[in-house]
Every structure is written in C-alpha cells, then in structure tokens.
Amino acid sequence: MTLPVLIVGASARAAAMSAVRSGLEFTAIDLFADEDLRQLAATGHVMSCRRLKDLARAHHELPAGPWFYTGGLENLASVVQCISQHRRLWGNGAECLRRARSIRRLYPELSRHGFRVPQIAPRGAVPERGTWLVKPRRSCGGLRIRWAKGGESIDPAGRYLVQEFVPGPAYSGSYLASPSGCSWIGASRQRTRRDLPEAGPTKHPFQYWGSVVGPFEPLTLDGDSWSGRWTQLGRVVANQFGLRGLFGVDAVLASDEEGRRQLVPLEVNPRYTASMELFEQERQFEAILAHREACTTDDFLWNGPVVFANWWQKLIVYAREEISVDASFVRALQAQNRDPLWPAVADIPHPGGRIAAGQPVCTVLTCASSESELARKIPGLGKVSWARVS
C-alpha cells in the first residue's frame, strides 16, 4: 500500500495538482484550504492553519506518510525538523535550510565562483549613496520588502538587512538535484505588484504577483551561454549546500558598466516554488514525481531543460478591499476550467468565506503563441480581475 504524501506550506494547491497528475495521492495543510484543493484530495484530508508555525502540531491529525513543503517553510527550520522526526522528508532538512538561506554563507560562495552578488550594508544604517532595499531575513514572496531611505536606522536586532538594489528584470531559476547531479529545469521571469499599475498604491511593491515562461532569447551572460550560466549557478548552490530535490534561485538580469549582461543571484529557495507549475504546462516535466525520485533514489537524473513552444503566465489576483465570497462567484471561476487538473483559474476560494484586503483571491494561468500577445493579456486581465473583486 502506497501512503499519501503530505504537502505543507502557505499554498499546497499547485504541488497537489502535480502529484495527482502523476498518480500520487496526497494530504495537505496550508493557509487557505481552497475549494479546488479540497476537491482534488481523494482522501478528503485537507486542513488549513491560520499560521505556518501551527503546522508542526497539525500534521499529527493526518494519515501517516512521507511529506514535503512548499512556500514559507524555508524560513521555519524548526518546524521542518519537528515534522521530519515523524515523517520521511522529500527535500532539504533543517540544517540544510539554515545554511542555504543564510546570506552570509551564500554570497561568499557565489562570489568565489565568479558571480556578482548585491552588497549588504553594515547592520543598523542605510548608506546615504546608492539605492537600497530593507528586507526581512525571513522573507517569502517579496512581502515586507521596501525601499530604504538614506541614513535611516534599521532594526538593530538583525531581523532585517539592507541590501543593494540591483536594477533589471527579475528571474527565478528552477532546478532538480540528486546525488547524480543537478539539472536546470528552466528560468521564469518574475512579476511583482509594482508591475501592475491598475492595482494602485501598495505597501508591498515587491510582493510576488506571478511568473512568465517561454522561449526566452538565449542571451550571453558573463561570457557564458544563457543555459550554461543558469546551469552553473544551480550546480554551485546544490553542491555547496547539499540540496536535494526541487529548488529555486532568484536572480536579476543586470548589466555591468560596459553593458554586458550579468546574472546576479539574490537568494535560494530550497523547495518547490510558485513558478514551477508553469514548467509542467508543455507536458515535458512532472515536477512532484521527479522530486520524489530525486529524494528517494541515488541514481536519478532528469535531462532538462524544458523546451517551450508557447508562452505561459501565472498571475495572482489580490483583493483591493475585504470581500465576501458567494457561491455564484465560485461557480463563475470554476466554469473557466475545462480540466480541473490543468486549470485556467486556480486557488479558487470556498463559498461563504471572506478575503481581507491585500490577500489573494485566485490564480489565473494563460497561454499565448508570442510574448507580445501574452503581455497584451495582462492589462485587460488586471482590469477585469480588480473590477470583479472590488
């Protein structure tokens, strides 16, 4: 008898869909327990928690089986350690998380291998010159990252860091690591709330809004090919920190003083990431099945990257103000989906719930034959989405 895998994180829906498409059963605990996640679970075991810290206790209420985590738990090594004492972990353990998430350990290793990294200001103050960001050391999804003001004092307890702002489009590289090697799955362009003008002012300009994947132009980066530089980055990170399974590396595509393109890594997410479901859309890659094999066998090596014929985007709709979710709204979202395992609208809230201002309402996935066509869908989608939930 195969035991269901427990999926734990801020949102479990995307990983759960991947698991079900590969024939795996799952149970889940996340912050939302959305309607489509509940309908996916053959066992009916889907739970929600108001805080990620509560997950360490909640998992005892679900059937035995292996587990892995999605977003948010990379900052809670103690929770990962606690659950892993009772269940086999597919992924990276607590000590690995502490190492890979430490900027003080990550940046020197990357610099040693020839990667430019952002400067980190001395603790306690923002330099007068340059453009800087204030970032929580335990950041997730771009929340609570803000522009710094020259000369301002920053939390002396060290809960925040002051990091150089590196201009350029933001990307995330997706990888799969096993004892046999590290494979680059592909790169996604990241979108944040400041890319959505119709959303109006926001306290979280760097909050994750969505991702785009497709046949990107194969640029030369630091004298290497597009795929070569991304591959090198993943292998350096995987080897130095002993990563296993799926993981992501956020980076900026910057330019040096002579106009040459550079890949500037920002941080490591040692887990299944939000953009990974896009790499499954062309039916070449089964993320959670590959993750299981990489974490449970020593000779598994996936041959990537994914080759895209189309462009795909994933956009999160946020509520401008508090809203009540009625049954007709839920049915309207569900009607957009011809196949619930390959949805056009996902993370559908359950009827009767309330969604606070600034919280996610649903996720929209779209496809186009060109990047320009894909870009044209964004403004119209934003207006419709914001009008519908305001």
Sheet strand arrangement including 67-69 = 46-48, 26-30, 5-8, 67-69
Beta bridge partners of 47: 29
Residue 345's contacts (CB-CB under 8 Å, 6 or more residues apart) are 333, 334, 336, 337, 362, 363, 364, 365
**What letter does residue 266 receive in the DSSP assignment?**
E
Query: In degrees rounded to 5, what are phi and psi of residue 92?
Result: -105, 125
Distance CA 57, CA 59 (A): 6
Per-residue pLDDT 10s for the chain (390 aa) are 688 999 999 999 999 999 999 999 999 999 999 999 999 987 668 988 888 778 778 888 888 999 999 999 999 999 999 999 999 999 999 999 999 999 999 999 999 999 999 999 887 678 888 899 988 887 777 788 988 887 787 776 678 889 999 999 999 999 999 999 999 999 999 998 777 665 555 677 888 989 999 999 888 888 889 999 999 999 999 999 999 999 999 999 999 888 889 999 999 999 999 999 999 999 999 999 999 999 999 999 999 899 999 999 999 988 878 888 999 989 989 998 999 999 999 999 989 988 888 788 999 999 999 988 987 776 444 433 443 443
Residue 63's contacts (CB-CB under 8 Å, 6 or more residues apart) are 3, 4, 27, 43, 45
Tokens of residue 336, six digits:
């957009």
pLDDT of residue 379: 44
Distance CA 244, CA 224 (A): 25
Distance CA 381, CA 125 (A): 41
DSSP H/E element including 313: strand 311-318
Beta bridge partners of 191: 210
Residue 102's contacts (CB-CB under 8 Å, 6 or more residues apart) are none
Tally of CB atoms within 10 A around 349: 23
Q: Which CATH superfamily is domain 170-389 in?
A: ATP-grasp fold, B domain (3.30.470.20)
Tokens of residue 113, six digits:
């291998």
pLDDT of residue 58: 87
Query: CATH number of 5-89: 1.10.287, 3.40.50, 1.25.40, 3.30.70?
Result: 3.40.50
Q: Where are the domains of the chain?
A: 5-89, 119-164, 170-389
Distance CA 128, CA 368 (A): 44
Distance CA 9, CA 95 (A): 18
pLDDT of residue 61: 86
Residue 97's contacts (CB-CB under 8 Å, 6 or more residues apart) are 74, 77, 80, 270
Strands (E), 121-228: 132-136, 146-147, 160-164, 170-178, 181-192, 208-213, 220-221, 224-225
- What single letter denotes the amino acid at residue 192? T
pLDDT of residue 389: 43
pLDDT of residue 57: 83
Q: For helices 226-241 and 103-112, what crossing angle results, to 10°? A: 130
- C-beta pairs of 258-263 under 8 Å, 24+ apart in sequence: 260/220, 260/222, 260/223, 261/219, 261/220, 261/221, 261/222, 262/116, 262/221, 262/222, 263/115, 263/171, 263/221, 263/222, 263/229, 263/230, 263/233
Based on its alpha-carbon atoms, the radius of gyration of the chain, rounded to whole angstroms, reads 20
Beta bridge partners of 188: 172
Look at the pTM and tell me if it is higher than 0.75: yes
Distance CA 70, CA 246 (A): 10
